[in-house]
């Protein structure tokens, strides 16, 4: 269900191809800690290299905000990409200019050049026309294989397409296959799970799922805002004061929507949030003053698991508790194990849940792990993203 042209639909042999990738990976000194985002692009890279393409790869890393930040240089990324491809990746120390142009000219067929962190250039996030034109001048074709940044209109994924034919890479093709299906032709019942901290990031997708899903389950700190909007005290739990009215409005309208909206029945609470803090489990109506809700409780796990076990499609974005602090990853783990044990098509919306699944060894039990949390949310909400809208249609 990918309606965009891909690298398999256009001639690429012997061309210079500018490939936007998402190698925004965690580093420790000179090493990449988690290379899953790099691995996800290997099918595209190998397809191009096998056809004698000269690849000019571009990515961002971190948030340098338009200035050079030494610890955000891409040397460790180039090293890891070289190891995975079995090809020496030439790393440029700049993003644009004469040095880059010379490096491209010297690149042999089947060679890979990795530009420096594109967000070192202030024009990248501003979608600067001049920077976009300088990127385009390097190549004959543009390929977007960075789904995780496709919800941003930047020079290296949108502006460049004003000058070059633009198609999808194989990773983006895979993302679109599953995400289009999840929006347009999901097997039902369709169960959606949303967690994380902020309601603000998810109001639009909550509205979408209330209309389109059969069940919508909320967890994490964002669920606290809805519980607070229902009039519960919740002790000292994290919630968004400025989103209480929006949450109350969603709750009042939810009875007339397709989806059944489910909130936690019980929570695990602590007085101080740290790993292995003393904790207890209480009903959501009984959180004492000074205590903090940090995970969903067993009654909630049972309720949500029952819904998941009946579903044919499960969509999930955001952890259901403070999963980075053991043992308050329990609720997230139990829901993950429930999904893994069903025959449902399971699409995981990137970010922290993917990291949790990989830690649990459950990533292989899911149908699709998206490489972009924010991009997945916006796609579920709107069905399109700026970095995808500019790609050529089939």
Place of tokens 């792990």: 369
> What's the average model confidence in pLDDT over 27-41?
93
Quick one: pLDDT band at residue 200, thresholds 50, 70, 90?
confident
Domain boundaries, the chain: 16-172, 179-381
Per-residue tokens: 376: 């997945």
Q: Are 75 and 106 in contact (CB under 8 A)?
A: no
* Residue 199: predicted pLDDT: 87
Is residue 26 scored above 80 in pLDDT?
Answer: yes
What is the C-alpha end-to-end distance of the chain, expressed in Å? 11
Task: Give the right CATH number for 179-381 from 3.40.50.1260, 2.50.20.10, 3.40.640.10, 1.10.10.10.
Answer: 3.40.50.1260
pLDDT per residue over 206-224, tens digit each?
999 999 999 999 999 999 9
Task: Name every residue whose Cβ is closer than 8 Å to that of residue 116 and which is 6 or more positions away in sequence.
Answer: 73, 74, 91, 92, 93, 94, 95
Which DSSP string do the residues of 28-66 spell out, in sequence order?
ETTEES--HHHHHTHHHHHHHHTTT-EEEEE---S---S
Across 269-277, average pLDDT: 96
Q: What is the per-residue pLDDT for 351?
A: 80
The distance from CA 124 to its chain's CA centroid, rounded to whole angstroms, is 20
CATH of segment(s) 16-172: 3.40.50.1260
Both tokens assigned to 384: 């399109």
In 3D space, the residue among 339, 344, 319 whose CA is nearest the CA of residue 329 turns out to be 319
So what's the pLDDT on residue 161?
Answer: 98
Q: How far is CA 266 from CA 122, 136, 295, 363, in A?
A: 47, 54, 9, 27
Q: What is the pLDDT of residues 156-186, one digit of tens each?
A: 999 999 999 999 999 999 999 999 999 999 9
pTM: 0.92
Cα angle for residues 358, 187, 316 (degrees, 5° grid): 30
What is the rounded CA–CA span in Å between residue 307 and residue 322? 23
Strands 31-32 and 27-28: antiparallel
d(CA 57, CA 129): 19
Q: Is the pLDDT of residue 68 over 90?
A: yes
Q: Which two tokens stand for residue 380?
A: 């579920």
Q: What pLDDT, on a 0 to 100 scale, did the predictor assign at position 391? A: 98
pLDDT recorded at residue 359: 87
* Whole-angstrom distance, CA of residue 230 vs CA of residue 43: 48
Q: pLDDT band for position 255 (50/70/90)?
A: confident
Q: What's the full length of the chain, in residues? A: 394
Mean pLDDT of the chain: 96
Biggest distance spanned by C-alpha atoms of the chain: 68
Q: For residue 268, name the pLDDT band (cuts at 50, 70, 90).
A: very high
In whole angstroms, how far apart are CA 240 and each of 192, 243, 244, 374? 22, 5, 7, 19
Q: 317-355: per-residue pLDDT in tens? A: 999 999 999 999 999 999 999 999 998 999 999 788 998
Task: Count CA atoms within 13 Å of residue 101 on its CB side.
Answer: 6
pLDDT digits over 284-325, tens only? Answer: 999 999 999 999 999 999 999 999 999 999 999 999 999 999
The pLDDT value recorded for residue 198 is 86
């Amino acid at each position: 269900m990918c309606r965009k042209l891909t690298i398999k639909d256009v001639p690429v042999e012997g061309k210079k191809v500018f490939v936007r990738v998402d190698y925004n990976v965690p580093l420790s000194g000179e090493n990449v800690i988690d290379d899953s985002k790099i691995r996800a692009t290997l099918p595209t890279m190998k397809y191009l290299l096998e056809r004698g393409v000269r690849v000019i790869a571009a990515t961002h890393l971190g948030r340098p905000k338009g200035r050079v930040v030494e610890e955000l240089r891409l040397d460790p990324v180039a090293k890891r990409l070289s190891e995975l491809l079995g090809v020496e990746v030439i790393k440029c120390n700049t993003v644009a200019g004469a040095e880059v142009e010379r490096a491209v000219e010297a690149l042999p067929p089947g060679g890979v050049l990795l530009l420096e962190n594109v967000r070192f250039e202030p024009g990248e996030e501003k979608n600067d026309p001049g920077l976009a034109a300088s990127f385009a001048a390097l190549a004959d074709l543009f390929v977007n294989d960075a789904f995780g940044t496709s919800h941003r209109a930047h020079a290296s994924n949108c502006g460049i397409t004003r000058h070059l034919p633009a198609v999808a890479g194989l990773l983006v093709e895979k993302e679109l296959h599953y995400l289009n299906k999840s929006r347009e032709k999901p097997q039902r019942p369709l169960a959606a799970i949303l967690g994380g901290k902020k309601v603000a990031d998810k109001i639009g997708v909550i509205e979408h799922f209330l209309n389109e899903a059969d069940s919508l389950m909320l967890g994490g700190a964002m669920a606290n805002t809805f519980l607070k909007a229902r009039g519960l005290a919740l002790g000292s739990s994290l919630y968004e004061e400025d989103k209480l009215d929006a949450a109350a409005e969603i709750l009042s309208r939810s009875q007339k929507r397709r989806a059944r909206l489910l909130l936690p029945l019980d929570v695990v609470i602590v007085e101080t949030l740290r790993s292995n803090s003393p904790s207890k489990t209480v009903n959501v109506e009984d959180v004492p003053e000074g205590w903090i809700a940090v995970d969903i409780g067993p009654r909630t796990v049972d309720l949500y698991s029952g819904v998941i076990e009946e579903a044919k499609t499960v969509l999930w974005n955001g952890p259901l508790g403070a999963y980075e602090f053991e043992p308050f990853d329990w609720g997230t783990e139990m829901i993950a194990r429930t999904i893994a044990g069903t025959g449902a098509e399971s699409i995981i919306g990137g970010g922290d849940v993917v990291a949790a699944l990989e830690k649990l060894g459950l990533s292989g039990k899911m149908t699709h792990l998206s490489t972009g949390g924010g991009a997945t949310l916006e796609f579920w909400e709107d069905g399109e993203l700026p970095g995808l809208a500019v790609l050529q249609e089939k």
